Amino acid sequence: MSNLFCEGLTENDINKLLSAPKSDLHNHSTKGCRRKWLAERLRIEMPEPPQALYGLDGMQVWFRSFIKPLCDGYENMLIRWEGAFAEAKRNHIARLVLNFGTAEIDQVGSVEAFKKIIEGYHEAYCPDTVFEAELTYPSCCDAGYEAERIDQYTSLGYFKAIDICGGENVQPFEAFLPLYRKAEEYHLVKKMHVGETGSAEDVRKAVEILGLSEIHHGINSSVSKDTMRFLADNHIQLNICPSSNIMLGYVKDYKTHPIKILVENGVAVTINTDDLLIFDSTIENEYLALYRAGTLSVKQLDEIRLAGLQSLQI
Ligand SMILES: [Zn+2]
């Protein structure tokens, strides 16, 4: 166990928690910076989020109404990306995965130019952080069309994973097969947003049909012993974002967060921020909130922290 991390939890010492190496494996890059960092950088006031955002639709309405107008446009998108790396430095994120939509990459012009910008921030803020770029598509996308043009994003080898976001059950899982087959050719880690609003059965189906090895959210797996056993047996990792789940109204509070049931049933989980700019809960706060609520023990939280750092020599 890491003394620094464990002491940070038990002593409520934020500096110790900030100093301990952690990961953030689910972070939507354009919403991945800290609200206060962005407000200071842009020299503006930014409103705090309300306690409840009423689902993904409510979140989008709030973001588009109150946050986006303050930091819209190409230059501000770059600043928000920069802020995600600034937060990785501040919070000792030793392993960081950011996801990027193709429309965002297209704004830069080419994947080469995009990589140059992103690696510039990576080098400037946290060169020791293992960084992985993830390509994300909206769930309403035409997967056949996107599969035809995925090469322009993946041929450089910069993207390490693929994801689908933006609402579940918009199309059957089979519809995404062309895209995931192409992703496999490029050896991308196959992930998807599923089981946040969808069912435990959806989680299992998505894994079986698309060959996923990681799931963003997947919290509703906790209602099915069979699905949890399936996930545990197949070493499928769930990247969980507690504050996101609570603020969107999918989970009542930290105390009753299903991460406890998932952990106790042997499912591999990590703890992540999702949309830091919206939910305003930094990674150390996610761990602390679960500890304070009595959801998980220090030992369990430290094991989750270490699971997020797997493959790294920390
Ligand atoms: Zn997400």
Residue 101 domain flag: yes
The answer to whether position 232 is within a domain reads: yes
From ligand 1's centre to the CA of 88, what distance in Å?
A: 18
Output the CA 167–ligand 1 centroid distance in Å: 10
pLDDT mean over 278-284: 97
Confidence of residue 217 (pLDDT cuts 50, 70, 90): very high
> Do the domain assignments include residue 313?
no
Ligand 1 center–CA 146 separation, angstroms: 20
The mean pLDDT of 276-288, rounded to a whole number, is: 97
Give Cα separations from 241 to 168, 217, 258 (angstroms): 17, 7, 11
CA of 163 to the centre of ligand 1 (A): 9
Rounded-to-integer distance, Cα 121 and Cα 243, Å: 26
Q: Determine the Cα–Cα distance for residues 275 and 131; give it in Å rounded to an integer.
A: 17
180-214 pLDDT per residue, tens: 999 999 999 999 999 999 999 999 999 999 999 99
CA 217 / ligand 1 centre spacing (Å) = 8
Q: How far is the CA of 18 from the centre of ligand 1 (A)?
A: 23
* Number of structural domains the chain divides into: 1
* Cα–ligand 1 centroid distance for 241 (angstroms): 8
Q: How many Å lie between the centroid of ligand 1 and the Cα of residue 11? A: 31
Asked, for residue 42, whether it belongs to a domain, the answer is: yes
CA of 288 relative to ligand 1 center, distance in Å: 21
d(CA 251, CA 210): 27
Q: What's the CATH number where 289 sits?
A: 3.20.20.140
pLDDT at 149 over 50: yes
- pLDDT score of 280: 97
Q: Band of the pLDDT at 122, cuts 50, 70, 90?
A: very high
- 31-66 pLDDT, tens digit each: 999 999 999 999 999 999 998 999 999 999 999 999
Q: Is 155 helix (H, G, I), strand (E, B) or coil?
A: coil
pLDDT band at 124 (very low <50, low <70, confident <90, very high): very high
21 Cα to the center of ligand 1, angstroms:
22
Higher per-residue pLDDT: 273 or 314: 273
What does 165-215 look like in DSSP terms, one character per residue? ES-SSSS-GGGGHHHHHHHHHTTPEE--EESSSS-HHHHHHHHHHH--SEE
Mean pLDDT of the chain: 96
The CA 139 to ligand 1 mean position distance, Å, reads 12
Residue 113 has pLDDT above 60, yes or no: yes
Residue 173 CA to ligand 1 center (angstroms) comes to 18
Q: Would 41 be classed as within a structural domain?
A: yes
Q: Ligand 1 centre from 216 Cα, in Å?
A: 7
Mean per-residue pLDDT for 98-118?
97
Instruction: Using the mean position of ligand 1's atoms as its centre, give its distance from the Cα of residue 14 in Å.
Output: 25
pLDDT at 111: 96
Cα(55) to ligand 1 centroid in Å equals 12
Average pLDDT on 142-148 reads 98
Q: What is the pLDDT of residue 293?
A: 98
Q: What is the mean pLDDT of residues 278-288?
A: 97
Indicate the pLDDT class of residue 310, thresholds 50, 70 and 90. confident
In a domain, 160, yes or no: yes
pLDDT at 314: 44
DSSP letter at 275 equals -
Task: Please check the confidence at residue 312 and state whether its pLDDT lies above 80.
Answer: no
pLDDT greater than 50 at residue 93: yes
Gap from CA of 23 to ligand 1 centroid (Å): 15
- 33 is in which domain, residue-wise? 3-308
| Residue 274 Cα to ligand 1 middle (Å) | 5
**CA–centroid distance, residue 28 to ligand 1 (Å):** 6
CA of 194 to the centre of ligand 1 (A): 10
Cα–Cα distance, 192 to 168 (Å, whole number): 10
How far is residue 110's CA from residue 187's CA, in Å, rounded to a whole number?
21
C-alpha 82 – ligand 1 centre gap (Å): 19
Distance 3 CA to ligand 1 centre (A): 31
| Residue 1 pLDDT > 70 | no
CA of 116 relative to ligand 1 center, distance in Å: 25
In a domain, 314, yes or no: no
**Ligand 1 centre and the CA of 108: distance in Å?**
22
Residue 264 included in any domain: yes
